[in-house]
Amino acid sequence: MEALIAIVIGVLTASGVYLSLRGRTFPVVLGLTLMSYAVNLFLFVMGRLMIGIPPVIQENATYADPLPQALVLTAIVISFGMTAFVVVLALRARAELGNDHVDGEENH
């Protein structure tokens, strides 16, 4: 399972990086989103993999490490805000620069 997770994270990161290196704003946004998925997953599994255990305190039970989950929640929310901002910024750039190239130049 560990290997599987690692590979998934790797693939997500790789695709994210590749897309964020594109020249148009939209794929870049997709790439950033993929990267944030990757890192959220990464952060999450830093609490190790716990399957089928209660999420809340009960009598005599083992628990997952809750801290990474909390961190991921924060991370998700923040990256949501950031994504929203960058999307709108992309629109703004489209209007101001007349095209959707990240450097505002068509000849790229």
Partner 1 sequence: MNHLVIAPLLLPLLAGIALLLLRGSATPMRQAVSLLATFTLVVIAFQLLLQVADGSVLVYRLGDWSAPFGIVLVADRLSAIMVLLTAVLSASVILYALRGADHDARFFHVLFQMQLFGINGAFLTGDLFNLFVFFEVLLIASYGLLLYGGGADRTRAGLHYVVLNLVGSTLFLFAVGTLYGVLGTLNMADITQRLAKISEEDLGVVRAAGLLLFAVFALKGALAPLHLWLPGAYGYTSAPVAAMFAIMTKVGAYAILRAHSLMFGPESGPVAGLLDPWLLPLALITVVAGTIGVMASKRLSQQAAYLVVVSAGTLLAAFGMGGAEAFAAGLYYLLHSTLAAAAVFLLADVISKARGNALDRLIPGPELPRGQLLAGVFLVIALAVSGMPPLSGFVGKWLILQASIGEPGMPWVFAILLVTSLLVIMTLARTGTMLFFKIEEGATAGSPVRVLDLGAPLALVLIGIGMVVYAGPVYEFGQAAAEQLLRSEAYISAVLQAATGGPQP
Partner 2 sequence: MTLPIIVAIPFLGAILVSWLGTRGRMLSAYATTFMSFSALMLLLPQAQTVMQGEIVLWRYDWLTSAGLALSFRLDGLGLLFALMILAIGLLVILYARYYLSEKDPMGRFYAYLLFFQGSMLGIVLSEHIIQLLIFWELTSISSFLLISYWRHREDARKGARMALAITGGGGLAMLAGFLLLGEIVGSYELTAILASAEQIREHPWYLPTLVLILLGVFTKSAQFPFHFWLPHAMAAPTPVSAYLHSATMVKAGVFLLARFFPALSYTPEWSWLVGGAGLLTLLIGAYTALFKHDLKGLLAYSTISHLGLITLLFGIGTPLAAVAGVFHIMNHATFKASLFMAAGIIDHEAGTRDMRKLNGLWKYMPYTAVLAMVASAAMAGVPLLNGFLSKEMFFAKTVYLTEEGTIPWLPIMATLAGAFAVAYSLRFIHDVFFNGEPIDLPKTPHEPPRWMKLPVEILVVLCLAVGIFPAWTFGPLWASAASSTLQADLPAYSLSIWHGFNTALAMSLVALIGGIIIYLIRKPLFRWHENSIAHIDARSMFQWLEQKLFGFAAVLNPILHRSSLQRMVAVTMLAAIAVAFAGFWGFGSITGSQPLSPVDPVSLVAALILIGAAIGTVILHRQRFMALLMLSVVGLIVALTFVKFSAPDLALTQLSVEVVTIVLLLLALYFLPSIPPRESGAGRHTRDLVLAGLAGVGAAGLAWAVLTRPYESIAGYFLENSVPGGGGTNVVNVILVDFRGFDTLGEITVLAIAAIGIYALLEGLRLTAPEQDYDGRSWNWDVHPIIPAAFSRLLLPLALLVAIFVLLRGHNLPGGGFIAGLITAVALITQYLANGIEWTKTRMSTGLPPMIGIGLLLATLTGVASWLFGYPFLTTTFTHVHWPLVGEFEVASAMMFDLGVFMVVVGVTLVILLRLGQLHDINRPENVVESEN
List interacting residues with partner 1 (CB under 8 A).
16, 20, 25, 28, 32, 35-36, 38-39, 42-43, 46, 67-68, 71, 74-75, 78-79, 81-82, 85-86, 89-90, 92-93, 96-97, 102-104
Rounded to 5 degrees, φ, ψ at 7 are -60, -45
Q: How near is the Cβ of 26 to partner 1 at its closest, in Å?
A: 12
24-83 binders of partner 2 (CB under 8 A): 24-30, 33-34, 37-38, 40-42, 44-58, 63-67, 69-74, 76-78, 80-83
The position carrying tokens 């790797």 is: 10
Residue 6 site contact among partner 1, partner 2, none (CB < 5 to 8 Å, cut-off depends on kind): partner 2
The position carrying tokens 């190239």 is: 101
The position carrying tokens 């890192």 is: 39
Q: How near is the Cβ of 44 to partner 2 at its closest, in Å?
A: 7
89 binds partner 2 (CB under 8 A): yes
CB neighbours of 56 closer than 8 A, spacing ≥ 6? none
* Residue (54 or 71) nearer to partner 1, CB: 71
CA dihedral (56, 8, 87, 78) in degrees, to 10, reads 30
Rounded to 5 degrees, φ, ψ at 24 are -110, 150
